[in-house]
Amino acid sequence: MIQAKSHESSRGKQKAILVGVSLKQKPLWEIEELLDELSGLARTLDYSECGRVIQSKGRINPSHFIGKGKLEEIMSVKEECGSDLVLFDEDLSPAQCRNLEKTLECTVVDRCGLILEIFNRHARTREAKTQVQLARLKYLLPRLAGRWSHLHRQKGGIGLREAGEKQLEIDRRLVRNDIYKLESKLKSIEKERATQRKARDELFKASLVGYTNVGKSTLMNRLTQSNLFVEDRLFATLDASTRTLKEVAGSKILLTDTVGFIDKLPHSLVASFKATLDEVRMADLLIRMVDLSHPNFEAQMASTSRVIGELGAGDKPHFWVFNKIDSVSSPSLVENTANRFPGSVFISATDGSGCEDLKQRIIEGYEERMVERELVLGYKERGLLRQIRLYGRILSEKYTEEGIHVMFLLEKKRLGLIKKLQDS
């Protein structure tokens, strides 16, 4: 199987130059913050930042993305720190990437390529591995041409150009074949997931969603006594895990932890992670988690809402949970944020504060879906009363000459069952 260009060989502390571009006249501090995040992504792959170059004015240069002056600036930083890797905080076209590599004489990776590489390193399960591999091949396909361009440039070699073109065609076909195979493998994974979900269809599903590294898995472990992998790195979790949060009224409340989001999440990844992200689409309640101690938490909230919208889950019932309050430096931040986002919950997933309240909120979210009904049951219909007790909550029950007068709360989706029982 053909592999996307891997930076495996660059393990260790390879030095990287970061490049940021202000496309919409963003202020400098905003670009610096974006580059801080890019630096965090680079660290995840064991690259260390050795310099930054920012283009804050001017238009995009179609051939190299950045202007000539900035290219020279990168060259001088490169010579100064002896780096042979340049990371762009933007997505580059395959041709721009090739031109940059040629001019700068080093490896150039764009934001999408970097995120794909992190996903590739962190993928553990069969599902995550298949999804990442598919996303990487889709990214690679339009970039194959550059691999053989050195043959085009060589003079004198009879038929080299043809050989290069032929090889390119073979490569493209191989990659397309692999994409096809992976897509059908993913289809069967999606089917498996759908079957698993069907078995849980009756149950209430809450999903933890949010930017990467906000503490979703830490909270999941605390609330469900699990032992999921937690680490202070971006994209520690790449698959979905579901656990029981609580047994209530004969039913279960399920909690799902899943892959985190990031600004400009590559489209090929979102498309390839459909099976995993379906867990978000199918949830009854979204717990949108935020790291309140992060200087950029508001931009992360906006990104989270954007990705949820793109997944078609923007109108699902939700509330915000602000985590890491133990490491928030300003005490007024919690108060101000609580005023600005009424109905949100403030917690520390590591020391546990606020976590019981949060659990209660999830249970309330479940109960909000219940409806109140009133019925008069014949004395022979006691079985029905048992069902209501099992799946809902009896509010009052009176024994009269007419029958049993009962008021109860029941999940909407169980009403059909009661009706059926009544009709039979």
Ligand X SMILES: Nc1nc2c(ncn2[C@@H]2O[C@H](COP(=O)(O)OP(=O)(O)OP(=O)(O)O)[C@@H](O)[C@H]2O)c(=O)[nH]1
Per rule CB under 6 A, is residue 273 in the interface with ligand X? Answer: no
Q: Least distance to ligand X from the beta carbon of 322, Å?
A: 10
CA 325 to chain centre: 22
CA gap 350, 348 in Å, rounded: 5
Strands (E) in 115-185, as ranges, are: none
Query: By C-beta, is 83 or 276 nearer to ligand X?
Result: 276
Q: Could you say whether residue 227 binds ligand X (CB under 6 A)?
A: no
Residue nearer to ligand X on the CB measure, 10 or 221: 221
Out of 39, 99, 120, 237, point to the residue binding ligand X (CB under 6 A): 237
Which residue of the chain is nearest Mg ion when measured via CB?
A: 237
In 3D, which of 386, 378, 421, 399 has the Cα closest to residue 249? 386
Do the bridges between strand 14-21 and strand 85-88 make them parallel or antiparallel, or are there none, so unpaired?
A: parallel
Residue 236 or residue 280: which is nearer to Mg ion going by CB? Answer: 236
Of the pair 269, 410, the CB lying nearest ligand X is at 269
User: Token pair 């064991």 is at which residue?
Assistant: 46
Q: Which is nearer to Mg ion, 5 or 129 (CB)?
A: 129
Residue 291: exposed, middle, or buried by beta-carbon count in 10 A (0-12, 13-18, 19+)? buried
Out of 14, 256, 323, 337, point to the residue binding ligand X (CB under 6 A): 323
Q: What are phi and psi of 372, to 5 degrees?
A: -95, 135
Question: Closer to Mg ion at the Cβ: 172 or 243?
Answer: 243
With H, G, I as helix, E, B as strand and everything else as coil, classify residue 165. Answer: helix
Site residues, Mg ion (CB under 5 A): 216-217, 236-237
Question: Could you say which of ligand X, Mg ion, none residue 303 binds, taking C-beta under 5 to 8 angstroms by partner kind?
Answer: none
What's the closest the beta carbon of residue 238 comes to ligand X, in angstroms?
8
**Contact between 231 and ligand X per CB under 6 A:** yes
Indicate whether 307 belongs to the interface with ligand X (CB under 6 A): no
Which element (helix H / strand E) includes 8?
A: none
Return the structure tokens found at 194: 């759908």
Taking the C-alpha atoms of residue 334 and residue 314, their distance in angstroms, rounded to an integer, is 25
User: With CB under 6 A, what is the number of residues at the site for ligand X?
Assistant: 22
Interface map 350-389 toward ligand X (x if CB under 6 A):
x---------------------------------------
How far apart are alpha carbons 270 and 287 in whole angstroms? 20
Does residue 215 interact with ligand X by CB under 6 A?
Answer: yes
Count of beta carbons in the 10 Å neighbourhood of residue 72: 12
What does 134 interact with, of Mg ion, ligand X, none (CB < 5 to 8 A by kind)?
none
Residue among 236 and 349 whose Cβ is closer to Mg ion: 236
109 binds ligand X (CB under 6 A): no
Query: 50 and 81 in contact (C-beta within 8 Å)?
Result: yes
| Cβ-proximal residue to ligand X, closest one | 260
Smaller CB distance to ligand X: residue 61 or 125?
125
Are residues 92 and 237 in contact, defined by beta-carbon separation less than 8 angstroms? no
358 binding partner (options Mg ion, ligand X, none; Cβ < 5 to 8 Å by kind) = none
Angle at 392 between CA 388 and CA 398, to 5 degrees: 55
**Residues near ligand X, by CB under 6 A:** 212-218, 230-232, 234-237, 260, 323-324, 326-327, 348-350
